[in-house]
Amino acid sequence: MSSLWPRIEPLLAGVEKPARYIGMERGSLRPEHRPHQASWLLVYPDTYEVGLPNQGLQILYEILNERDDAVAERAYAPWTDLEAGIRRAGVPFFSVDTHRPAGEFDVLAFGLAAELVFTNVLNCIDLAGVPVRAEERRPEDPLVIAGGHCAFNPEPMADFVDAFVIGDGEEVVGEVTEVVAAWKRGGRASREAVLRELATVPGVYVPSMYEVDYDGPFIAAVRPRYPDVPEHVEKRTVADLADWPYPKSQLVPLIEVVHDRLNVEIFRGCTRGCRFCQAGMITRPVRERPAEQVRTMVADGLRRTGYDEVALTSLSSADFSGIDGLVADLVNGQEGCGNVGLSLPSLRVDAFTVGIASEIQKVRRTGLTFAPEGGSWRIRQVMNKLITEEDLYTAVDGAYSQGWRRVKLYFLIGLPTEMDDDTLGIAELARNVVAVGRRYTRQASCTASVGGFVPKPHTPFQWFGQNGVQELHRKVRLLKDALRGSGAQLRWHDPEATYAEGIASRGDRRVGRAIEHVWRAGGTFQEWSERFDLGLWREGMAVAGLDADWYVTRHRNEDEILPWDHIRAGLHRDFLWADWKAALDAHGLPDCRWTPCYDCGVCTDYALEHVVASAVAPAGGSQGTGQDLRAGGDVPVQLRPTRVGAHAG
């Protein structure tokens, strides 16, 4: 057992937040490594404060350590101060659990939650003493694996990652473990052999097993190099969340981190069908956790962690069947000891939501956040975010009348078909929201946050040419002018960062050279505004001989082979194309959880079903479906008796 701690400890005296590097969280393990086990280092390629709460990493940490044939530790990207220190001292990248050198693990597994962390992945591999390019790795080097939402377009990272895991990781990590453990038992002879074996595991994509042919700038074909390597890699999906009540012992960090509270995932997947939302598209179908299991996980989690706040997480938490009853139980019940707070991230915009929020925040009603996303009804139909203005004003009226003072609104700009009237609709909504608030209190305020839209793979908007930097700046200026003196504040995401995200989001294999350049030029922590530098990205694209605008702002045609077409999220390409056309016609599409199936491809191809306890939408408002759901049960509904029966009550 080789611990680097004695060499790390003296370096910590001079760094910011040294507790980032000590481990020792409640719930953490100091596993013994045995020779027959596949050892995983689970790396979140961002700071400890951002990475520690990541639920995916924590789930895999537990599942792997429960296995006899696996052992798992964690690591986070060292901030620039410690990086300088360990490079100077010749200390390699290390795990926080036992401070073991990263290079001694069999697998370095990265969670890719956002594109701008890509350069940090390269940096971590390099700090581990492992060649950053997969083709240069030797049999004694660890296997570099990556998963997470960004793995759904693995191509920009294909040069650096040996194998990607597509979709839910709970089951597939076990299958990968078996392949790696067998390879280890066999003396880790050939890297090529183990990668070829991994390529046959469903849900695993090994980029080196595929040849990409180009026709000028376009992709002509993506071909498997061997007959046993699948032509398409299909995502993995856990059919029933009830089988996976993880994390069982959520980690409790010793320093403050983002989402610093108990987090209980109440469902996975979302079928609201927002066309800009990659998470909603790639995580279908909806799989609710049984309410009883949620209650148990909340009670156990609070008792185990000592937290006084719990978040019920999902992509749209107010959509959970019977959410009002669950919230009332949790708020009024005597869970834990003392005062326990409850939060529901990702709330819809309607009166029902405000009702739940007022149940939760009985005392401190300061700020409430809604995400109408688009400034006009027309653009919201394009996005399929079917919130009516009435929904919004009713929700806001409810919020201000019940004591909230600050309302935050989230919007996207640079959407398909967007005209200046749509953009300016954001200012109008914000002004009207302030006016509603002023009826109740002079202190009413409203902040409109706007972010530039980045089209994402596996969404109906994947063919859309993103707005360039100048155009987004122009739209921000429009809004600034329109909101002057309105009482509403405007905040915006840096259009230059949006552009870099566009390069990485829809890039192909050739973009890897540009990413490598950004990293070599010192461009780590690119999602941190003080470290971000678009100049490096432009330079990198130029060095790679690539036209950045061709990747970012160009509209794609139906017959163009997209870099991620051989990766499948279950959504049929013709469904996505039809939905793209419907978007351009400003036609909405209802939520298939509560209306008949329109066959996007996921459930039918993968023999899956929604797992929902209630076949009707929660009552009140249009629920963002654009339909009149006031009566609650008027929607035609397809019942799925086995699942519903299994989890009712």
Partner 1 sequence: MRGDAGFPVRLRFTKQGKIRFVSHRDVARAFERAFRIERLPLVFTQGFVPRPKVSFGLALSVGHESDAEYLDVELTHEPGALPAVAGALSGALPEGIDVTCIASLADRAPALQEAVTAVEYTVEAVAAYDAGRPSLEAVSDVVGAALASPTLVTTRTRKGREVVEDVRPAVRRLDVLGPTEHGVLLHLEVSTQPRGARPGEIVSALRAGLVEQRVLRTRQWIERGGARLEPLEADPRLSVLPRADSRVPEVRAS
Closest by CA position to 184, among listed 31, 35, 34: 35
Residue 36 or residue 364: which is nearer to partner 1 going by CB? 364
Q: Round to whole Å and give the CA distance between 563 and 580.
A: 18
Q: Round to whole Å and give the CA distance between 396 and 406.
A: 10
Please give the structure tokens belonging to residue 243.
Answer: 């089988």
Rounded to a whole number of angstroms, the minimum distance from the CB of residue 304 to partner 1 is 7
Rounded to a whole number of angstroms, the minimum distance from the CB of residue 256 to partner 1 is 7
Q: Round to whole Å and give the CA distance between 151 and 236.
A: 12
Closest by CA position to 566, among listed 501, 509, 499, 516: 509
Quick one: angle between helices 511-520 and 534-543, nearest 10?
A: 130
Site residues for partner 1 per CB under 8 A: 5, 9, 12-13, 18-19, 21-26, 252, 254-256, 302-308, 336-339, 363-364
Residue 342 or residue 608: which is nearer to partner 1 going by CB? 342
Residue 339 or residue 443: which is nearer to partner 1 going by CB? 339
Residue 262 or residue 395: which is nearer to partner 1 going by CB? 262
Residues across the chain? 649
Q: Round to whole Å and give the CA distance between 466 and 310.
A: 37
Long-range contact pairs involving 622-625 (C-beta distance under 8 Å, separation at least 24): 622/350, 622/386, 622/387, 622/388, 622/391, 623/319, 623/348, 623/350, 623/352, 623/591, 624/272, 624/348, 624/349, 624/350, 624/385, 624/386, 624/387, 624/391, 625/272, 625/386, 625/588, 625/590, 625/591, 625/594
Rounded to a whole number of angstroms, the minimum distance from the CB of residue 336 to partner 1 is 6
Rounded to a whole number of angstroms, the minimum distance from the CB of residue 431 to partner 1 is 30
Rounded to a whole number of angstroms, the minimum distance from the CB of residue 419 to partner 1 is 44
Residue 123 or residue 305: which is nearer to partner 1 going by CB? 305
Residues 6+ apart with CB under 8 A from 625: 272, 386, 588, 590, 591, 594, 617
Rounded to a whole number of angstroms, the minimum distance from the CB of residue 98 to partner 1 is 12
Residue 240 or residue 300: which is nearer to partner 1 going by CB? 300
Rounded to a whole number of angstroms, the minimum distance from the CB of residue 427 to partner 1 is 33
Q: Round to whole Å and give the CA distance between 103 and 94.
A: 8
Residue 9 or residue 574: which is nearer to partner 1 going by CB? 9
Residue 337 or residue 646: which is nearer to partner 1 going by CB? 337
Residue 16 or residue 68: which is nearer to partner 1 going by CB? 16
Rounded to a whole number of angstroms, the minimum distance from the CB of residue 340 to partner 1 is 9
Residue 348: φ, ψ to 5°: -75, 170
Closest by CA position to 344, among listed 618, 642, 21: 618
User: What is the separation of C-alpha 4 from the centre of its chain, rounded to a whole number of angstroms?
Assistant: 32
Q: Round to whole Å and give the CA distance between 202 and 198.
A: 9
Rounded to a whole number of angstroms, the minimum distance from the CB of residue 255 to partner 1 is 5
Amino acid symbol at 121:
V
Residue 84 or residue 478: which is nearer to partner 1 going by CB? 84
Q: Round to whole Å and give the CA distance between 48 and 21.
A: 8
Rounded to a whole number of angstroms, the minimum distance from the CB of residue 24 to partner 1 is 6
